[in-house]
Structure 1
Amino acid sequence: MHKKTVVDFKELGQRLIFENPLIELSAKSAKDVKPILQEVENYQMQGYYVIGYVSYEAAQAFDEKFSVKTRSLSGEYLAYFTVHQEVKKEPFLCQSQKNIQLPKSWQSSTTKGEYEKAIARIKEKIRQGNTYQVNYTLQLSSLLEEDAFTLYNHLVIAQEAAYNCYIEHDDFAILSVSPELFFKKKGNRLITRPMKGTITRGYSTKEDLENKIWLANDSKNRAENMMIVDLLRNDMGRISEIGSVKVTKLCEVEQYSTVWQMTSTIESQLQSDKSLLDIFSALFPCGSITGAPKIATMAIINQLEKQPRGVYCGTIGICLPNGDAIFNVGIRTIQKLGNQAIYGAGGGITWGSACDDEYKEACDKAAVLYRNQPDFDILTTARVSHKQVVDLDEHIKRLKESARYFAYPFSKEDFLAKLSKQLEELDDADYRLRILVKQTGAIQFQLAELRDLPENYLKAELVHRSESIDSPFTYFKTTYRPHLQSLSGEFIFISNKGYLQETTIGNLILEIDGKWYTPPVDVGILDGICRQKLIKEGRVFEAYLTKDDLKKASHIYACNSVRGVYEITLNK
């Protein structure tokens, strides 16, 4: 029995919650899938909302030549929809869920050795001319102790995807945080947005931008994307007006929490007599999760993959009372059966694919399952003098870069308006101003009159920093700074590779032979605003520094945007 359905499709503008359906429509065999889709459209035409999914193994309902597993996942329908007259509307979630217990370990149904053999077999099929690209996937499973809807809400925030949907039934739950549109029908317009091409996010602004640019220009990923674009153009041409199929955006790169993805957009004018069933018959399953050509490639997938895919690589969507419809591609999707969670991840394999790179890509796509991102605010700390924020433009730039990286809302205009009101109330004294941007976009100011630094911040101790620098929290200033939590006073941090990094509240500068040197960002430091200015002015030079350099230094300094440059000493 149906319990709850929640649709979080960004283009709908708000969260839609559905309970107490008028009727449930389900198909457990391929012969029942087409009649179910006809019923879906009939109810839609009567003015109802209809929401549900079609699993990957339902493909044979649309073409007997499509090879899929003859069994489905335990307890799962090939197609399942609910019909609703009423909908509850709420704002989208914009704040993380606290105290989420993510599944502790995920077991892959495919070993690394088996994966390597499968890639070799795919390349042999490509060499023989049987396929151009195969979307080969892994299946991960884990025990799920957390409440399914609580976990879904966490994933909605963590993944920042556009096509999220939750379906809860007595027998199963579907937690889909898909970034990919399968198709949108708006009037007689048909839109698809295949997603193919991936690279992991960088940890710093520089590395992140480099990764984005690399993906945008990488010939392998562009070729993968364009193969699927051609496949979908052909599929859409079967049901569209002649000459109306157009590629409106090609190989655009989009930001997600753990990866950059390459997408393209294809639009057409539907033939006037085409139904929802006709759209599915022409397009399903989406070419981005099969490869090309579709029939031959699905046969290869069926030979190589051990388990049925289920809703993963199928589609989940909503039919609206006005006749429009939106369906996602069922990627980044957990299927809960009993207390077991199943999650699929994979990628397009071509002749130019490197096995290790493809395996890493699959792991990157699954990273949202492992990363329990802490609750934090974006932060910058500034000096206020005579009612003016010193280096205001640089602080705004820092906030904007951090907000872009973490996908926090930030409006420069709103920020300046609120800051102006805050500054009006001050006298001409000097102040320390902490500026925090919340996950919701709310801005908080914390003001304190600027006083002399306490003595324990002028005498530093050396401390080894054992945690990995491979985290965005190393390079972006936020309230999440775990290595500082148990420390009081000034410390100079040393990385696990032996390089000097930064101090507790500033960047480190050593004066050696009359010149000033500071560690480069890639040793794992914040690129402070004062540091940036000193380098730009030619007063400070970047260099890899070690404990031996501390002995050579005639002076040791720290610098930050509140205090400027000030001298510290090293406790012996």
Structure 2
Amino acid sequence: MFAPGTVLLHDNLAPQGQNLLFTAPREVLVAYDSAAARAALRRLSAAAGQGLWAAGYLAYELGFLFEERLAPRLPEYSETPLLWFGLYDAPRRPDRAETDALLAGAGQGLATDIEPRLDFDTYRRAFERVKSLIAAGDTYQVNLTLKADFRLHGDPLGLYRVLAQSQPTAYGAYIHAGDHHVLSRSPELFVSGTDGLLKARPMKGTLKRGRTRAEDEAGRLALARDEKNRAENLMIVDLLRNDLGRIAETGSVRVTDLFSVETYRSLHTMTSGIEARTRPGIGMHALLENLFPCGSITGAPKLRAMEIIHEVEAGPRGLYTGSIGYIAPNGDFAFNVAIRTAIIDSAGRGEIGIGGGIVADSLAADEYQEALLKLRFLADPAPPVTLIETFKWTPEQGFALRDRHLDRLIDSAAYFALPVTREQAHAYLDDRARDWTGPMRVRLTLAETGLDLSAVPLPPSPEKFRFAIAAEKLDSTSLWLAHKTTNRAFYDEPRQRAHDAHGLDEVVFRNERGELTEGSFTNLFLQRDGRLLTPALASGLLPGTLRAELLASGRAEERVLTLADLARAEAIFLGNSVRGLVPAEWVRNQDHD
């Protein structure tokens, strides 16, 4: 869909993110050796004076050109480009909706057969060498990486679309370089310059997100206070301050914020902000000589860390941990750190880099597993999130349990950074209900595009639900059990099979410990000694609104429940806010153990 030479620089994190689309290059600069790279850098500097924009990428090994000690390590001829840039007239600036529409036109794309190039034993040998050099005082920190190979099935732009939906970031990029494609979902700014003001925002220190907003806040606070992550982050901040100081006006380098925590779809990361003002006469070549590559992906001291990386890593990094960005004719620019970045050749062979920072107390097994986990965004991208709330509406009572439904919706919307306020949701519901005259079953959804609603006449509640125990076990730690979304296949498919095979209305799930959790569209309640018992949230289940109401009123209480409790129950009920509390019959001979 995108022609060769197209570059999309893509921010789908901020609601009004800046996107730049470069097409039809007047000239393409590609370099595979040091002489061609130097010539291309000179051409980049000259292009601005001709009113041309430049957009493309710099490979990590290009940094060897800028250090006398490293230059001999650059191969005579690189297998992949040391740099690739197109020179363009002014880019288009599509907004989010237009960019989404452009990406929607791509075909399907999928990454398969993802295999790391190093097994653990090979990785451990490199890791132990790094640890020995740290212990000897040669270095404080080294960013140790490895590559993974994969196969592309389908359209590379389609794969990029899926990754962009799964991982919104501010510094994404897609490049059709003719014989290869670049797909980057980097969250990290290397450096930008506007009217001589330089900004850098290194990332160092990450933590997996919690399942709920409360867990998230606890995690953010823990990361912000973690001394190990703060020490690593400060080490890189000092490195970048030193790099910027070589090209900045005296006294202009300053840290704008330290140890801030930013939240992305799957993790929290610690970042710090640094600013400086360039000295007069400092051009792009001088900027790169002094700053590239970014210290957050080398280690400290930077030069020694790069020597160690060259010694211990299995091969060149190529584009991975290099940089992707643009240069405007007026001298403004912005470049990312090319992490979470894949490159795919014309035969559909892809590679991607993964890794992390090694310090004195790092453990090889932990670092290797953490690196492999970083492949999940490519191997198993999360689907776009659409929240859902299902209401009962009657002319007499309006929306049943409206506040509890909206509490859950707003809480999940904040977790997933979806655009809505309680006032907007209230007004939207009231407006859509204006013309209803009879009882309705109402389905409210919230996605990045906003609120949507459908409504049908309310069906009568059944006198009884017949259910069996599902064979499938729910993971009590799953994110999708904490938020009601349209990602419901793991609920719906077992119920549909039970209905088709045995005429059942519902299935009830257990978790990995054998504890009862919930039905596919109902919460479970067992009556014992005149009290209603319902599975505890810790067992892994959706916090239903009827359940919350019964708990708050004192009519029900939480317990860890098992099949033995189910067998001893005086009565069984399944319920939700639309159907209410409905008597239920356990059809034991249809269980799927």
Q: Aligning the two structures, in what range does the TM-score lie when normalised by the shorter sequence?
A: over 0.9
- Which of 98-107 and 250-259 deviates more? 98-107
Q: Is the 8 A contact 1:195 1:263 kept in 2?
A: yes
Structure 1 433/514 Cα, relative in aligned 2: closer, same or farther at 3 Å?
same
Counterpart check, 1:85 vs 2:92: no
* Structure 2 equivalent of residue 243 of structure 1: 251
Structure 1 4/94 Cα, relative in aligned 2: closer, same or farther at 3 Å?
closer
* Structure 2 equivalent of residue 346 of structure 1: 355
Q: Is the 8 A contact 2:33 2:76 kept in 1?
A: no
Amino acid at match of 1:394: R
Determine the C-alpha separation between the residues in 1 that align with 2:168 and 2:11: 11
Counterpart check, 1:46 vs 2:50: yes
Q: Displacement, 1:132?
A: 0.8
**For 1:53-64, what aligned pairs fall within 5 Å after superposition?**
53-64=57-68
* Per-residue CA distance 1:281-314 (angstroms, 9 max, x = gap): 1111100000100011111111110011011111
Counterpart check, 1:289 vs 2:297: yes
Structure 1 56/3 Cα, relative in aligned 2: closer, same or farther at 3 Å?
same
Superposed CA RMSD: 2.6
* Structure 1 equivalent of residue 179 of structure 2: 171
Q: Is the 8 A contact 1:2 1:24 kept in 2?
A: no
Structure 1 3/497 Cα, relative in aligned 2: closer, same or farther at 3 Å?
same
Q: Displacement, 1:556?
A: 1.7
Q: Is the 8 A contact 1:196 1:262 kept in 2?
A: yes
Extract unaligned runs of 5+ from structure 1: none
Structure 1 251/48 Cα, relative in aligned 2: closer, same or farther at 3 Å?
same
Structure 1 273/257 Cα, relative in aligned 2: closer, same or farther at 3 Å?
same
**For 1:144-159, what aligned pairs fall within 5 Å after superposition?**
144-159=152-167
Structure 1 99/415 Cα, relative in aligned 2: closer, same or farther at 3 Å?
farther
**For 1:110-189, what aligned pairs fall within 5 Å after superposition?**
110-189=118-197
2:388 is aligned, of 379, 383, 393, to 379
* Per-residue CA distance 1:87-136 (angstroms, 9 max, x = gap): 33433344886984422221212111222232222222111111111111
* Structure 2 equivalent of residue 390 of structure 1: 400
Q: Displacement, 1:333?
A: 0.5
SS of residue paired to 2:164: helix
Amino acid at match of 2:30: S
Structure 1 198/407 Cα, relative in aligned 2: closer, same or farther at 3 Å?
same
Q: Displacement, 1:387?
A: 6.3
Q: Is the 8 A contact 1:251 1:262 kept in 2?
A: yes
Determine the C-alpha separation between the residues in 2 that align with 1:277 and 1:560: 64
Structure 1 389/67 Cα, relative in aligned 2: closer, same or farther at 3 Å?
farther
Q: Displacement, 1:22?
A: 1.2
SS of residue paired to 1:214: helix
Determine the C-alpha separation between the residues in 2 that align with 1:468 and 1:570: 23
2:556 is aligned, of 513, 527, 540, to 540
- Which of 259-268 and 461-470 deviates more? 461-470
Structure 1 274/300 Cα, relative in aligned 2: closer, same or farther at 3 Å?
same
* Per-residue CA distance 1:488-527 (angstroms, 9 max, x = gap): 4122222343211112322112222333322122322111
Identity %: 35
* Per-residue CA distance 1:256-303 (angstroms, 9 max, x = gap): 233222211111121122111121111111000001000111111111
Q: Is the 8 A contact 1:186 1:325 kept in 2?
A: yes
Q: Displacement, 1:77?
A: 1.7
Determine the C-alpha separation between the residues in 1 that align with 2:136 and 2:263: 36
Determine the C-alpha separation between the residues in 2 that align with 1:430 and 1:72: 76
Amino acid at match of 1:5: V
Determine the C-alpha separation between the residues in 2 that align with 1:138 and 1:259: 21
Q: Is the 8 A contact 1:45 1:323 kept in 2?
A: no
1:550 is aligned, of 566, 578, 581, to 566
Determine the C-alpha separation between the residues in 2 that align with 1:69 and 1:437: 53
- Which of 328-337 and 65-74 deviates more? 65-74
Q: Is the 8 A contact 1:8 1:15 kept in 2?
A: yes
Amino acid at match of 1:562: V
- Which of 412-421 and 338-347 deviates more? 412-421
* Structure 1 equivalent of residue 529 of structure 2: 513
* Per-residue CA distance 1:330-366 (angstroms, 9 max, x = gap): 1110012343101001111111223333223212322
Q: Displacement, 1:469?
A: 4.8
* Structure 1 equivalent of residue 280 of structure 2: 272
Determine the C-alpha separation between the residues in 2 that align with 1:53 and 1:6: 12
* Structure 1 equivalent of residue 510 of structure 2: 494
Q: Is the 8 A contact 2:34 2:76 kept in 1?
A: no
- Which of 383-392 and 176-185 deviates more? 383-392
Determine the C-alpha separation between the residues in 2 that align with 1:251 and 1:565: 49
- Which of 49-58 and 540-549 deviates more? 540-549
Q: Displacement, 1:215?
A: 2.3
The TM-score normalised by the length of structure 2 is 0.89
* Structure 2 equivalent of residue 434 of structure 1: 443
Structure 1 469/484 Cα, relative in aligned 2: closer, same or farther at 3 Å?
farther
Structure 1 250/391 Cα, relative in aligned 2: closer, same or farther at 3 Å?
farther
2:5 is aligned, of 3, 23, 27, to 3
SS of residue paired to 2:29: strand
**For 1:170-249, what aligned pairs fall within 5 Å after superposition?**
170-249=178-257
Extract unaligned runs of 5+ from structure 2: 500-504, 589-593
SS of residue paired to 1:549: helix
* Per-residue CA distance 1:201-238 (angstroms, 9 max, x = gap): 33444544443333222222222111101111111111
- Which of 255-264 and 91-100 deviates more? 91-100
Q: Is the 8 A contact 1:435 1:445 kept in 2?
A: yes
SS of residue paired to 1:307: coil
* Structure 2 equivalent of residue 480 of structure 1: 487
* Per-residue CA distance 1:11-45 (angstroms, 9 max, x = gap): 78443322221112233223443443343233224
Counterpart check, 1:461 vs 2:468: yes
SS of residue paired to 1:88: coil
* Structure 2 equivalent of residue 22 of structure 1: 26
Amino acid at match of 2:547: R
Q: Is the 8 A contact 2:545 2:576 kept in 1?
A: yes
Counterpart check, 1:422 vs 2:429: no
SS of residue paired to 1:476: coil
Q: Is the 8 A contact 1:312 1:344 kept in 2?
A: yes
2:70 is aligned, of 45, 66, 70, to 66
Counterpart check, 1:565 vs 2:581: yes
Determine the C-alpha separation between the residues in 1 that align with 2:231 and 2:71: 25
